[in-house]
Structures are given as C-alpha cells and as structure tokens.
Amino acid sequence: MLIGPLEDNRQIARSNVHTSQEKQKQRYDAQISSRQYAIGEQVLLKNFRPKKLDTKWNGPYYIHDRRNNGTYQLRTIDGKIRAHVSMGDDVTRNLAHMIFVDI
C-alpha cells in the first residue's frame, strides 16, 4: 500500500532536486568570470593565510606557463620558477606597474 505513494514522492523529490541544482548552476555561472592571462604578464598571487597586518596579495610574479584547467606556472622577478602551479582565481593582474596619466 505504501509503495505507490512512496515512489511518487521519491520521483517528486528527485525532480525538485534537479530543478534546484539547475537554478544554482545558473546563478553560479552568471557570477563567475573566466580569467585568461598571457605568458609574461605581471600578476599578484593571493595570500591565503594573511595575518592581521599582512597584505592580501604577494608578488609581483610573471606568468611563465599556461597549464590545463586554468592553472598557471609563475616565476619571480629574479627568474625563479615556483614549484606549485596556481589557479586562475588565485592570481590577479598587477596594476601597480602601469602608469596612469590624468588628462
């Protein structure tokens, strides 16, 4: 007797989960932006555990190599290559080296 309503409720729940996941994916995809950096471009690397007075970004670094899935190999100004690859979300363009001129 309970098998019929139980299966119906399970199908309804599965459908609700699927529609909810679709909505969450659409919201996430609307907010995310893919960041592409060129080799040789100057970037800053996110400091994951900054202390109270530490800066949020380390660097500057240069993009040395572009890897799969949006990861980058970075090198320092001295030319030393970092051992770890960095995700594209963990680096940002370094705008401090650009010169801004008021007109």
Q: What is the pLDDT of residue 6?
A: 86
- For residue 7, the one-letter residue type is E
Q: Which residues of the chain have pLDDT under 70?
A: 1-3, 97-103
Residues 91, 25: Cα–Cα separation, whole Å: 24
CA dihedral 97, 82, 84, 32 (to 10 degrees): 10
Q: What is the pLDDT of residue 90?
A: 87
Residues 61, 56: Cα–Cα separation, whole Å: 15
Q: What is the pLDDT of residue 4?
A: 73
Q: Contact, 37 vs 82, CB < 8 A? A: no
Q: What is the pLDDT of residue 100?
A: 59
Q: What is the pLDDT of residue 72?
A: 92
pLDDT tens-digit readout, 75-92: 999 999 999 998 888 888
Q: What is the pLDDT of residue 35?
A: 78
